[in-house]
Chains A and B, each alone.
Chain A
């Protein structure tokens, strides 16, 4: 009887181990998770650092331009915003046209996308890209293809914030 038990037990063990081999999990069984080790990890820290430095540098250039306009052309602090932004947009558009801004964007990520220069790049690059389809249906129709969502969300959020501010003031007074 003892021997019989032993044999049965070892048989069960063997069957179990075989079962284990047969159902060994394959990559395709849980594909998204099992391929994670092959996928390059986003370098969050270095990307943040690059974005901070380049974004900060763009803002410093903006500040320099602003100071230049205030000291040389005697703009007031209130009025100097418009010519400063216009100059940054011009610089960004030129860099896009020379094929440099996309290289800066690959390096800096959000650093060159968030400032107004990134907005200008999205419009200029779309305008350049769709030039081959003509001025009206190409450039004019597609110029806001990427920038359009920024404008939509800008307008909508300004509207909502405006309403909140209005009711807030109403309740305070």
Chain B
């Protein structure tokens, strides 16, 4: 049985993360993790005419860079599991049109990175695919215009707001031996504790992350000591301490083993309010920085919990609260290196 406990999948076969590709925008490139990204743009337009085309370019290039590193072409991939933040998942659909890899389009807001990785690994484990790509992207300006205001509008944002990361991240998963193993994944429940403020998504998402982490520990009968690092996607400076406290209430003290991708991605003086957010946030930090740390041996076993606010501007205007979700995937360093 691959389902362990209530919500956790333990992959039976040896599933590997063979390669990753990342493409990022200017602020992400200038951030503390800048050196770990493959492609960096100095301009938010990424040489394109519209914001949407810029985001598409980031996703396309993250896929290309991921395949290039292991000398594979589009034809070598069985399925492309991807999603983004835009209506109708446009970035994903047009990227899949470009690469011509059979598409499984998914939406999990900012939890998409781990959602696609978990499901993709399950497909490979069960024999429905030999090689899959898990990919996601977000762009600061496309998210601003869809969820908030025009980019140049001079509205004041509160300190609890987050800054949508610009970037695309892609991972290649197969049974062929690689430097990193994907061992288990926990699929989250939708949580909603009544937060309505779209400028405070850290508070909205913390319960979802806490639920998934606690569920993961209980399902596998383990605790935080099992991991070198537990990261959340984009809880920011507001949501992170809430999450730690909520997990602590259930008897798990994450201590200094915990971090948040949205806080890792930027310097504190980069004017990103409470921290980074967006699909790309967890994707580029994981596929850029964390994967390199695993390969180099600085980390051995990490639990990545991508957090998503399933936010719709229409529903918020109808006075609905913000439902949130979090999916977690465990990455392990393969002893003995590559």
A28 to B156 alpha-carbon distance, docked (Å): 30
Establish whether residues B245 and A106, one from each chain, have CB atoms under 8 Å apart when the complex forms: no
Residues of A in contact (CB 8 Å), total 37
Residue from A40, A101, A145 in contact with B238 in the complex, judged by beta carbons closer than 8 Å: A40
B154 at the interface (CB under 8 A from A): yes
Answer whether A121 and B154 are a contact pair too, CB < 8 Å, given A27-B249, A28-B193. yes
B159 neighbours in A (Cβ, 8 Å) = 40, 42
A98 to B180 alpha-carbon distance, docked (Å): 46
Residue from A27, A31, A104 in contact with B154 in the complex, judged by beta carbons closer than 8 Å: A104
CB distance from A98 to the nearest CB of B (A): 9
A99 at the interface (CB under 8 A from B): yes
Answer whether A38 and B150 are a contact pair too, CB < 8 Å, given A28-B207, A132-B49, A132-B50. no
Within B224-246, which residues are at the interface with A (CB < 8 Å)? 238, 241-242, 245-246
A82 to B159 alpha-carbon distance, docked (Å): 38
A97 neighbours in B (Cβ, 8 Å) = 152
Tally inter-chain residue pairs, CB-CB below 8 A. 94
A122 to B150 alpha-carbon distance, docked (Å): 8
Within A89-111, which residues are at the interface with B (CB < 8 Å)? 96-97, 99, 101-106, 108-110
A47 to B159 alpha-carbon distance, docked (Å): 12
A26 neighbours in B (Cβ, 8 Å) = 246, 249
B246 neighbours in A (Cβ, 8 Å) = 26-28
Establish whether residues A129 and B152, one from each chain, have CB atoms under 8 Å apart when the complex forms: yes
A96 to B150 alpha-carbon distance, docked (Å): 11
CB distance from B47 to the nearest CB of A (A): 15
B238 neighbours in A (Cβ, 8 Å) = 38-40
Nearest B residue to A132 by beta-carbon distance?
B50
Residue from A32, A121, A146 in contact with B194 in the complex, judged by beta carbons closer than 8 Å: A32
Query: Interface readout for B142-183 with A: 1 if CB under 8 Å, 0 if not?
Result: 000100011111111111100000000000000000000000
Establish whether residues B242 and A106, one from each chain, have CB atoms under 8 Å apart when the complex forms: no
B59 at the interface (CB under 8 A from A): no
CB distance from B20 to the nearest CB of A (A): 31
Residue from A32, A38, A105, A132 in contact with B155 in the complex, judged by beta carbons closer than 8 Å: A105
B207 neighbours in A (Cβ, 8 Å) = 28, 31
- With A40-B274, A122-B153 already in contact, 5 other A-B pairs whose C-beta atoms are closer than 8 Å: A38-B242, A47-B156, A108-B156, A112-B154, A146-B149
A130 neighbours in B (Cβ, 8 Å) = 150
B184 at the interface (CB under 8 A from A): no
B52 at the interface (CB under 8 A from A): yes
B195 at the interface (CB under 8 A from A): yes
Establish whether residues A125 and B194, one from each chain, have CB atoms under 8 Å apart when the complex forms: no
Within A5-55, which residues are at the interface with B (CB < 8 Å)? 26-28, 31-32, 35, 38-40, 42, 47
CB distance from A126 to the nearest CB of B (A): 5
A27 to B245 alpha-carbon distance, docked (Å): 8
B140 at the interface (CB under 8 A from A): no
A118 to B154 alpha-carbon distance, docked (Å): 7
A124 at the interface (CB under 8 A from B): yes
A and B contact pairs by CB, cutoff 8 A, 13 listed: A27-B249, A31-B195, A31-B207, A32-B195, A38-B245, A40-B274, A99-B152, A110-B156, A118-B154, A121-B153, A125-B151, A129-B150, A132-B52
Establish whether residues B200 and A101, one from each chain, have CB atoms under 8 Å apart when the complex forms: no
A106 neighbours in B (Cβ, 8 Å) = 154, 156-157
Residue from B150, B193, B242, B245 in contact with A125 in the complex, judged by beta carbons closer than 8 Å: B150
Nearest A residue to B50 by beta-carbon distance?
A132
Establish whether residues B52 and A102, one from each chain, have CB atoms under 8 Å apart when the complex forms: no
A39 neighbours in B (Cβ, 8 Å) = 160, 200, 203, 238
Query: Interface readout for A123-151 with B: 1 if CB under 8 Å, 0 if not?
Result: 01110111010000000000001100000
B258 at the interface (CB under 8 A from A): no
A128 to B154 alpha-carbon distance, docked (Å): 13
Q: Which 3 A-B pairs have the closest CB atoms?
A: A105-B154, A129-B150, A125-B152
Establish whether residues A105 and B241, one from each chain, have CB atoms under 8 Å apart when the complex forms: no
Nearest B residue to A99 by beta-carbon distance?
B152
A122 neighbours in B (Cβ, 8 Å) = 153-154
Nearest B residue to A96 by beta-carbon distance?
B152
A101 to B152 alpha-carbon distance, docked (Å): 7
Establish whether residues B155 and A113, one from each chain, have CB atoms under 8 Å apart when the complex forms: yes
CB distance from A135 to the nearest CB of B (A): 15
A38 to B246 alpha-carbon distance, docked (Å): 12
B252 at the interface (CB under 8 A from A): no
Establish whether residues A38 and B152, one from each chain, have CB atoms under 8 Å apart when the complex forms: no
Nearest B residue to A128 by beta-carbon distance?
B152
B217 at the interface (CB under 8 A from A): no
Residue from A101, A109, A125, A145 in contact with B156 in the complex, judged by beta carbons closer than 8 Å: A109
Establish whether residues A124 and B158, one from each chain, have CB atoms under 8 Å apart when the complex forms: no
